[in-house]
Structure 1
Amino acid sequence: MTNTKYIKWNFPAKVLRIALMAVVLLSSCDKGFEEMNKNPNAFTEPVVTSLFSYNLIKTAGDGDGNTLYPNDKLAGAMMQLFASLNPYQWTGDKYLAKAGYSDALFGTAYGVELKENSQIISLTKDNPDQVNLYNIAQIWRVYILHRVTDMYGDVPYSEAGLGYVSGVYKPKYDKQSDIYPAMLKQLETSALALDATKQSYGTADYIYNGTTSKWKTFAYSLMLRLGMRLTKVDPALAETWVKKAIAGGVMQSNADVARLNHTDGTELNFYWDGRELRGGEGVPPSAKGTGYGKMAQTFVSHLKNTADPRLPFYITLWPGNADPAQLPASTIAANQKGLPNGYDYTSIKTVIPGWTDEMLAEYSEINLNTIGSNSTPSVFINYNEVELYLAEASLRGWGTGDAKTHYENAVRASMEIETIYPGGSSISASAISAYLTANPYTGGSFDVQMKQIHTQFWVSQFMNNMEIYANWRRTGYPVLTSTNYPGNQTGGQIPRRLPYPQSEASLNADNYKAAVAIQGPDLWTTRIWWDKQ
């Protein structure tokens, strides 16, 4: 007789045993397939050194987002280095609003520059053998974010970039009064933590080739820049950090300059500022001298009046020369003319009678074969900038040496570094001496010396225009006469900041509103914390 009870209960047990065996076999097969499906040539996690290379390149330039728009069309035009008759393209010339321009640096910094940087910091923070990778990335993070806070004021800092590693997609805005001490402390901490006996980035570091001592010098030089930024709002704090920077060791020569070399012809590594300036919005060769972005009368007149030997490396007339080392006729100082700021194609006729648009070719433009070449290096901090800060530190009684010596060191460094530009032959020692003789450091009152130091800053930092703009807001030099074009955003005053991107008011509304409530109206005229009136 068949045992139906056994059949009823034993059959499912047999099925269960078979099923379990199948699961084991299938899981074993899955493991094998997983191994088979792995690409032995692919990386399972980001390679930190490659991330750092990419991070440097993107900070140097990511299209026009952190180059042409904020650096040239806004800061460069507001500082009367560039001028334009086109009110829709070079809006900084006339203090006009164009969201695509004023939003660009904010979007590029948080959307591009911090992406790899945050990953590097996350991947290396707990590995003592990667202390240099971690701290160099932290130093670079400060570099990225100091540009953002200097242009906008209160911005995301403590939670910046965490969307990529922690899912923080609506970062809070930190007060600039908190950001600056945090940046300075981070530079100090990271500089002290660098260890020459540990792994570094090596050849993946396109600035210093992984040399930790150079990065330490960079950190203290950036500390000097940021410390000086505080002279109006908190002189005592400024003095503390300036003295720390000098004691730590700042740049001593052009060999210390933080620069990333570029190669013409490759989109991944050409000088984006030069690339964009020779495009349709700048001074394309196809325009034959009638492009939108010309050199400003204020800047050109200063170069001519001081017989500045840097002039042919900075500016030229159309047509330029493929070999600027020959100093062609197009770069002769006497022939240069600058365009006045604040005019359009119609109103320019009120100051230049008989004006026709073809006359634009008679006005100077940036030299696209030297400082504006596709292969011009990106310079993040210059030795001559450091020497000018040291001149001011001496003037304030915060540093060693005398202001005159540091000033002259800065001039020499600025003129000698022209050799790094494509076709840039060196300015002779005799030409440098002649310039210093004709334009001597005069001494005098504090204000007189500050004017001389920081007018030189304006000239020597050309194409580091965002830094010129920050330094002008701090010092008031050079002395510039503002324009008052119809419909401008400031009532005819040079802007004090850029407004936040419009998207922040909707996508990060609560934090945006909190920032505006603390800092003040989201206007071009609202002063940021360190720009104390």
Structure 2
Amino acid sequence: MKKFIKYIFAVVVLINMTSCFKNFDELRENPNYPSTVEPESLFANVLYTNTGSFYGAQGQYFNLTGAGLWGQQFAKIQYIDEDWYQYRASVMDEKWKRMYSGISGTSNLAGLYDLELAIAEVRNRKAAYESDGNSQGVADAEALEGAMLVAKVYFFSVTTDVWGDIPYSEAFQTIDLGFDQTNFQPTYDAQKEIYDNFFEVLEEANTLLSNNGSIAAGSDIIYRGNTSRWRMLANSLAARLYTRISKVDATKSREGLGKLFTDKGTYPMFSGNEDDAELIYLGSQPYMQPIYYNAYIDNRNDFAISATLIELLKENNDKRLYVYAQPTQASMTKPDDAADDWKASPEYVGQENGVPASEAPGFTAVSMIGNLYREQPAGKSFWMTYSELKFIEAEAALNGIAGVSGTVESLVNEGIEASFTKQYADVEAYSAPIIPVDGDVVSDPFTDAAIVINNLDWSKNGGKERVIAEQKYLSNFTNGPEVFAELRRTGWPAISEIRGGTVYQGKGLPNRFPYPFSEQTTNSANWSAASQGINDTMYGKKVWFAENSEVNYK
């Protein structure tokens, strides 16, 4: 941990070398910007701040008040506007700006533009090594480039999955990147075309990461310089994205997944929980787990666990309930008039999403987010996990994809076991308390996973596809961007209709995040073209990968 503390402080010192712009229209030539910059420092900053933009405070709670909330893993218990889909325009604007260009000033948070600068600089380095005949230098540069390309696809995939068509191919045409002039009005690429490029970039990354190069551990807060795991992530992420397009481009999805699964020598993927792509926070301000940060640094008490999640866990006597949620405060607090022999009787109660304001619960009546997440400053944020990959394989088996090893049922079982193993190991590592209800006992991960496995109802409405989607949803707890994407693609789990609010009541789950107001004013023509068919900023035209899908409601 001391190594990471030293590394983060080094990044803070080096951050002033990065080019972070508050607005897209500030991507202009900067006379104070150095002609060269260490790509390692840019990469480190991007990994931290862009992960924070998805999961943490840097992105105005992209996860808590956006994707994870709308995916009904969390629910709001005060300031309920976002749970009614009544977003704050300024907040959505900030999410967009931070993803693309970061934010300068005292915070110096990087954006995707900084990653593009880093990629350009490492390619310049590689060219110099090639000119000098330095083969190991070339391999090392290629490894770093490969990791950067994987990160680029990951960050852009989350961005396009919530917004749909976005600036991509023209997004970073600036003088600093070698263009004759800066393009202040980039076109919006169709999501299908963006996905097509993702697959090409991940193929390139897999090749670059296979040449025995090395990455400095201090520049890599995801895998600490482990190139083989970056390569596994490249191909596991490709499997996720090929699965994402399965309902709109079945042929490409089938061919891509078949390629990956039939040749794991060329395309290695995650083989255990140790391969998970995750960011471990230092635990000191401001580098804290974002749910903890929200509760204890921002002093917010806005979020409970969604009833959708709680009900799904209880359906199969799933003891991850005690990891994902905390008992209600009311059930754990001794009443003033209680007898001397009173003892707590833990209860777990989820909050219905988007209730009318008059029905907003008291803080003590519903379950807060689990101790492992809300009470641990040095917790984690996840990009992708081994358990998710097992559910991807299960869906591939259901669809008859070549090369998949195992049946739908066996792969679902493996995914559940991997999730339990990971959650229980983290509970032990963080000494996070587990408080079962009276009469229940938490055992080892395989015993408790077996209870869920034995309780699965494969015959219920939606069949095997529903079971896979629901168990993937549970394994992806706190990964709101992935949950929101898969909910729109698969339609499962069934979620609650929003009963409160005055604007979007009865319209159902939004199809997307709304485009920011700033794009209407600074990039009007391209924004207007991309917005054709969108109604009420979030409805009407769906994002491409969900065009043929419908969300199910309770």
Matched, 1:388 2:391: yes
Moved more, 120-129 or 49-58: 120-129
Match of 2:448 among 432, 435, 439: 432
With over 3 angstroms needed to count, the CA separation of the structure-2 counterparts of 1:378 and 1:342, relative to structure 1, is: closer
With over 3 angstroms needed to count, the CA separation of the structure-2 counterparts of 1:115 and 1:277, relative to structure 1, is: farther
Moved more, 452-461 or 123-132: 123-132
> Paired residue for 1:410?
415
Residues 39-60 of structure 1: per-residue CA shift (max 9 Å, x gap): xxxx973222122111111122
> Paired residue for 2:93?
103
SS of 1:232's equivalent? coil
Amino acid aligned to 1:116: D
Residues 70-94 of structure 1: per-residue CA shift (max 9 Å, x gap): 21212222222222243xx343421
> Paired residue for 1:50?
41
- Distance in 2 between residues matched to 1:142 and 1:80, nearest whole Å: 26
> Paired residue for 1:32?
none
> Paired residue for 2:272?
253
- Distance in 2 between residues matched to 1:478 and 1:376, nearest whole Å: 27
With over 3 angstroms needed to count, the CA separation of the structure-2 counterparts of 1:117 and 1:91, relative to structure 1, is: same
Matched, 1:276 2:310: no
Cα distance, 1:270 vs. partner? 2.0
Residues 328-370 of structure 1: per-residue CA shift (max 9 Å, x gap): x98x7x611122222244145xxxxxxxx6x431211112444
> Paired residue for 2:132?
none
Amino acid aligned to 2:431: G
8 Å Cα contact 1:85/1:344 also seen in 2: no
Matched, 1:119 2:117: yes
Written as runs of structure 1 = structure 2, the 5 A alignment for 1:491-530 is 491-517=506-532, 520-521=534-535, 523-525=537-539, 526-530=541-545
- Distance in 1 between residues matched to 2:81 and 2:67, nearest whole Å: 10
Cα distance, 1:215 vs. partner? 1.0
Match of 1:160 among 171, 183, 188: 171
Cα distance, 1:427 vs. partner? 5.9
Cα distance, 1:437 vs. partner? 4.7
- Distance in 2 between residues matched to 1:413 and 1:273, nearest whole Å: 23
SS of 1:83's equivalent? strand
Cα distance, 1:494 vs. partner? 0.9
Moved more, 393-402 or 198-207: 198-207
Amino acid aligned to 1:106: W
Residues 441-468 of structure 1: per-residue CA shift (max 9 Å, x gap): x555994001111111111111001100
8 Å Cα contact 2:323/2:371 also seen in 1: no
| Uncovered stretches (5+) of structure 1, i.e. residues with no partner | 1-42, 284-291, 321-328, 349-356
- Distance in 1 between residues matched to 2:194 and 2:535, nearest whole Å: 20
| Uncovered stretches (5+) of structure 2, i.e. residues with no partner | 1-33, 103-110, 127-137, 331-342, 434-441, 549-554
Cα distance, 1:279 vs. partner? 5.0
Amino acid aligned to 1:414: S
- Distance in 1 between residues matched to 2:197 and 2:375, nearest whole Å: 35
> Paired residue for 2:51?
60
Amino acid aligned to 1:494: L
Amino acid aligned to 2:278: R
Cα distance, 1:96 vs. partner? 1.5
8 Å Cα contact 1:80/1:298 also seen in 2: yes
SS of 2:521's equivalent? helix
Count, aligned residues: 460
With over 3 angstroms needed to count, the CA separation of the structure-2 counterparts of 1:490 and 1:101, relative to structure 1, is: farther
Moved more, 366-375 or 383-392: 366-375
Amino acid aligned to 1:183: F
- Distance in 2 between residues matched to 1:297 and 1:381, nearest whole Å: 24
- Distance in 2 between residues matched to 1:197 and 1:251, nearest whole Å: 19
Written as runs of structure 1 = structure 2, the 5 A alignment for 1:175-190 is 175-190=190-205
- Distance in 2 between residues matched to 1:433 and 1:271, nearest whole Å: 27
Match of 2:349 among 325, 330, 337: 337
- Distance in 2 between residues matched to 1:257 and 1:396, nearest whole Å: 25
Amino acid aligned to 1:497: R
Written as runs of structure 1 = structure 2, the 5 A alignment for 1:80-479 is 80-86=72-78, 89-112=79-102, 113-128=111-126, 129=138, 130-163=141-174, 165=177, 166=179, 167-246=182-261, 247=263, 248-267=267-286, 269-280=287-298, 282-283=300-301, 292-317=302-327, 335-347=347-359, 359-370=362-373, 373-398=376-401, 399-418=404-423, 419-420=425-426, 422-424=430-432, 428-440=444-456, 443=458, 447-479=462-494
Cα distance, 1:373 vs. partner? 2.5
Cα distance, 1:192 vs. partner? 1.5
Amino acid aligned to 1:259: E
> Paired residue for 1:74?
66
8 Å Cα contact 2:292/2:377 also seen in 1: yes
SS of 2:62's equivalent? helix
8 Å Cα contact 1:384/1:411 also seen in 2: yes
> Paired residue for 1:35?
none
Q: Percent identity?
A: 24
Cα distance, 1:371 vs. partner? 5.7
8 Å Cα contact 1:225/1:389 also seen in 2: yes
- Distance in 2 between residues matched to 1:80 and 1:236, nearest whole Å: 31
Cα distance, 1:256 vs. partner? 0.7
8 Å Cα contact 2:395/2:408 also seen in 1: yes
SS of 2:278's equivalent? strand
- Distance in 1 between residues matched to 2:142 and 2:538, nearest whole Å: 41
- Distance in 2 between residues matched to 1:70 and 1:60, nearest whole Å: 10
SS of 1:415's equivalent? helix
Cα distance, 1:372 vs. partner? 5.5
Cα distance, 1:153 vs. partner? 0.5
8 Å Cα contact 1:260/1:378 also seen in 2: yes
SS of 2:545's equivalent? coil
Amino acid aligned to 1:385: E
Cα distance, 1:420 vs. partner? 2.9
Residues 481-511 of structure 1: per-residue CA shift (max 9 Å, x gap): 3224342336431111011000001111222
